[in-house]
Amino acid sequence: MEALASNPRRSTASNKQQQEAKIPKPQRPNQFPSHRDAVHVSPNARKLCELLTRTPPNDIETALTNCGIRPSHDEVHEVLGLCYSVPSSAVKFFRWAGQLQKHSGHAWNLMVDLLGKNGVFEYMWDAIRSMKQQKQLALPTFVSVFESYCTAGRFNEAFMSFDVMDRYGIQPDVVAVNSLLSAICREDNQTTVALDFFHKIKGKIPPDGDTFAILLEGWEKEGNAAKAKSTFGEMVVRIGWDRKNMAAYDAFLMTLVRALQVDEAVKFLKVMKDHDCFPGLKFFTNALDIIIKQNDAANAVILWDVMLESALVVPNLVMYNAVIGLLCNNNQIDHAFRLLDQMAFQGVFPDSLTYNIVFECLVRNKKVHVAERFFNEMVKNECPPTSTNCTSAIAMFFDRDDPEAAQSIWTYMVENHIKPLSDAANEVLLGLCQLGRLSEVKRSAEDMLDRKIMIYESTMAKLKDAFYRDSRTARDRYDSLSRRWKAHGKL
User: Which pLDDT tens digit goes with each residue over 392-405?
Assistant: 999 999 999 999 99
DSSP state of 384: P
What is the band of 23 on the pLDDT scale with cuts at 50, 70, 90? Answer: low
Residue 19 has a pLDDT of 47
Residue 39 has a pLDDT of 65
pLDDT above 90: residue 350: yes
| DSSP string for residues in 36-84 | TT-SS--HHHHHHHHHHHHS-GGGHHHHHHTS-----HHHHHHHHHT-T
How far is it, in rounded angstroms, from Cα 389 to Cα 356? 7
How far is it, in rounded angstroms, from Cα 5 to Cα 426? 83
In Å, how far are 142, 146, 150, 183, 353 from 156, measured between CA atoms? 14, 10, 9, 13, 55
**Buried residues in 201-234 as b, exposed as e (16+ CB within 10 A):** beeebebbbbbbbbbbbbbbbbebbebbbebbeb
How far is it, in rounded angstroms, from Cα 71 to Cα 86? 19
The least confident of 17-26, 355-364, 404-413 is: 17-26
How far is it, in rounded angstroms, from Cα 316 to Cα 293? 19
pTM above 0.85, yes or no: no
Give mean pLDDT, residues 425-450.
94
Q: What are the residue ranges spanned by the domains of the chain?
A: 429-490
**Count of positions (residues) in the chain:** 491
Residue 24 has a pLDDT of 53
Residue predicted with more confidence, 190 or 18: 190
Give mean pLDDT, residues 43-54.
92
Query: Cα 41–43–46 angle (5° rounding)?
Result: 60
The least confident of 12-16, 112-116, 132-136, 218-222 is: 12-16
In Å, how far are 51, 86, 147, 284, 319 from 314, measured between CA atoms? 57, 52, 40, 10, 10
Query: Cα 419–420–426 angle (5° rounding)?
Result: 125
Q: Mean of the per-residue pLDDT values for the chain?
A: 91
Give mean pLDDT, residues 414-425.
94
pLDDT above 60: residue 30: no
Residue 18 has a pLDDT of 47
What is the band of 277 on the pLDDT scale with cuts at 50, 70, 90? Answer: very high
Listed in sequence order, the residues at least 6 apart from 168 whose beta carbon sits closer than 8 Å to its beta carbon are 128, 132, 137, 142
Give mean pLDDT, residues 27-52.
77
Listed in sequence order, the residues at least 6 apart from 249 whose beta carbon sits closer than 8 Å to its beta carbon are 272, 277, 279
